[in-house]
Homo-oligomer: A and B are copies of this chain.
Amino acid sequence: MILNKEECFYCEKNSELRNKMIEIKEFKNSVFYLNKDQRYYGRTILAFKEHRKELFELTEQERKNFFEELSLAASILQKVFNPSKLNYAIYGDLVSHLHVHIVPKYQNGENWGEAFINNPPIVTKLSDSDYDRLIQDIRKELH
C-alpha cells in the first residue's frame, strides 16, 4: 500500500515512526534518524522535512541544503563508525516521502560487496542504553 501524506509516518511522526527510528537531529531541510535495525552498525535515515516524492520536486535551494545535510550526516557516520564504505539509497515505492537510507558497510561484515538488505526478516535491535550511546556519539560530532 502506498502511503499518502495523511498516513505518512514521516509527516505524522507517529508510533510507527518511533518503532522504526529515533530522532538524532533536526537540520534546516531534513531530520536525521537512527534506524532501530542495526544489522549495519550505524545505519541511519535522513528524511526531507516536507512530503515530497522525487528529487526534481525540490527547489534548487532545498536540493542544495538537503544534499549538504546528507553529506554532513555521512561525514559524521564516517568519523564515528569508520565503515569501509557508506551506502545511500532512496527507494520509497510504498513510503514515498523522500528519505535516504545511509548504511555503513564493513569489509568482512554483513552483505559486503552487495546491496544491503533494506527490510531484513529479523530486526537487529539494541538495548535502549546502546541506542542512546550511539546517538550521543553522533551528536557529539555534530557540535
Which one, A6-14, A27-35, A62-70, is touching chain B? A62-70
Chain B, residue nearest A89 (CB)? B89
How many copies of this chain? 2
The answer to whether A84 and B93 have CB atoms under 8 Å apart is yes
CB-defined contacts of A53 to chain B, threshold 8 Å: 85
Given A60-B68, A74-B56, A115-B118, A85 and B96 contact (CB-CB distance below 8 Å): yes
Partner of A88, one of B85, B90, B96: B90
A1 to chain B, nearest CB (A): 9
- What separation, in Å, do the CA atoms of A107 and B96 have in the docked complex? 13
The answer to whether B115 and A91 have CB atoms under 8 Å apart is yes
The answer to whether A93 and B68 have CB atoms under 8 Å apart is no
Mask of A34-72 contacts with B, CB within 8 angstroms, 1/0: 000000000000000000011110101001100110111
CB-defined contacts of A68 to chain B, threshold 8 Å: 60, 63
The answer to whether A93 and B112 have CB atoms under 8 Å apart is yes
- What separation, in Å, do the CA atoms of A72 and B56 have in the docked complex? 7
A75 to chain B, nearest CB (A): 4
Residues of A within 8 A of B (CB): 53-56, 58, 60, 63-64, 67-68, 70-72, 74-75, 78, 84-94, 96, 105, 107, 112-115, 117-119
What are 6 A-B pairs at a CB distance below 8 A? A53-B85, A55-B71, A56-B74, A89-B91, A89-B115, A93-B107
